[in-house]
Amino acid sequence: MTIAYRKQLFVTSCFALLVTSLSFGIRAGILNHLGADFLLNTSQLGLITATAFWGFPLAVIFAGMLVDVIGIKRLLILAFVFHLVGVLATIFAQGYLTLFFSTLLIGIANGTVEAACNPLVATIYPDKKTTKLNHFHLWFPGGIFLGTVLVFVANHFNIHWQFQIAVMLIPTLVYGILVLKYRFPVTERVSAGISTATMYKSVTSPLFIFMFICMFGTSITELFTSQWIDVLLANVTDNAILILTLTTGVMVVGRALAGPILNKFSAEGVLIASAALSATGLYLLSVLKGEPIFFAALVFGLGVCYFWPTMIGFVAERIPKSGALGLNLMGGRVCLQYLFIPYL
């Protein structure tokens, strides 16, 4: 596989993830506008937001079981269709039900992108999986950063939330065109000839189960906090959305520098340090007010920066026989949390 070919596929996956992250960043910034325009209470807004967390992980898990069978390209075409329909349905939403189902479609699309692109990145960069997964996943906080900046500027100039959502159409069409243009390889497990039985046996190993359980805490720390930041900190600061902007900006820089950091420290050491910083950041966010809260956001951003991609990369490198299923089970365990955690 040539360097140029790898780069083309990697860029395609990054555009797809950019749409996913923009949906998180923009939606986090317009929740209050949706509530005002459609007369929705906090409970209804919570249910709408939760549909993205249903669709995302369930799609990751089920698509993760199918990616070896139907192929990466078909999954990404499916994600493109769901993204396009979901974004258009959100723009032309008429109330609670249309917002509910359009957000669900976007959530399914987001999960399908993860299910296809995590094993894609691991396949095209077999010699540096964790580093490249960090580089790939920098576009998640990167898109949230861009989305929150967009919301902040748009709100300043009183630009309607529908136009803010419409921005997502640009990267959606770009990655759709690229997916149709390029040829995609089979997953690493398939190319290596590892049997399906061996793959399923690998995801029942003690190490995988331990990492799977740990992912419950790391994922909810990052995703739940970022999605509700504008509401959670509304009484603490007038610029709650800027806190999310700062946090995600730190995450982008950190993930871009993942290579030298992972070369110097083990993945385990990075994850332990991340847990300590995340806990400290959450505590500071809960007690600080005014300008010092931006310092808390900085600490929190440093903490959650490496969680998601490093845990997935750890499984890709230490439990390679788990294949795409292992990566996507790690990426999709959030659904179990939202089956048992009550809605706000």
Q: Is 324 part of a structural domain of the chain? A: yes
Give the domain range for residue 170: 9-340
Q: Does 24 have pLDDT greater than 70?
A: yes
What CATH number is associated with residue 208? 1.20.1250.20
Residue 41 burial (CB count, 10 A):
9
Tokens of 238: 């007038």
Instruction: Please give the tally of structural domains in the chain.
Output: 1
Encode pLDDT of 270-308 as tens digits.
Answer: 999 999 999 998 888 878 877 788 888 899 889 999 998
Confidence at residue 243, expressed as pLDDT on a 0 to 100 scale: 77
Residues ≥6 apart with Cβ < 8 Å to 178 = 8, 11, 12, 15
- The per-residue pLDDT for 339 is 46
Between 224 and 77, residue with greater pLDDT: 77
**Token representation of residue 281:** 């950041």
Q: Does 3 reside within a domain?
A: no
pTM reported for the whole predicted model: 0.85
pLDDT at residue 236 is higher than 80: no
Higher-pLDDT residue of 3 and 180 is 180
Q: Is the pLDDT of residue 230 over 80?
A: no
Q: Residue 116's closest CA among 67, 69, 182, 82?
A: 67
Is 2 part of a structural domain of the chain?
no
Between 43-52, 81-90, 156-165, the lowest mean confidence (pLDDT) is in 43-52
Does some domain include residue 296? yes
pLDDT at 175: 96
First to last CA, the chain: 48
**pLDDT surpasses 50 at 344:** no
Evaluate if residue 337 carries a pLDDT over 60: no
Residue 1 falls inside a structural domain: no
* pLDDT digits 0-9 by tens, 116-128: 999 999 999 999 9
Q: Mean pLDDT, the chain, as a whole number?
A: 87
- Average pLDDT of 128-141? 92
- pLDDT tens for 163-205 read 999 999 999 999 999 999 999 999 999 988 999 999 999 999 9
Between 137 and 230, the higher pLDDT residue = 137
- Answer yes or no: is 200 within a domain: yes
pLDDT above 90: residue 106: yes
Give residue 238's pLDDT band: very low, low, confident or very high (50, 70, 90): low
Whether 4 is covered by a domain: the verdict is: no
Is 99 within a domain?
Answer: yes
pLDDT band at 255 (very low <50, low <70, confident <90, very high): very high
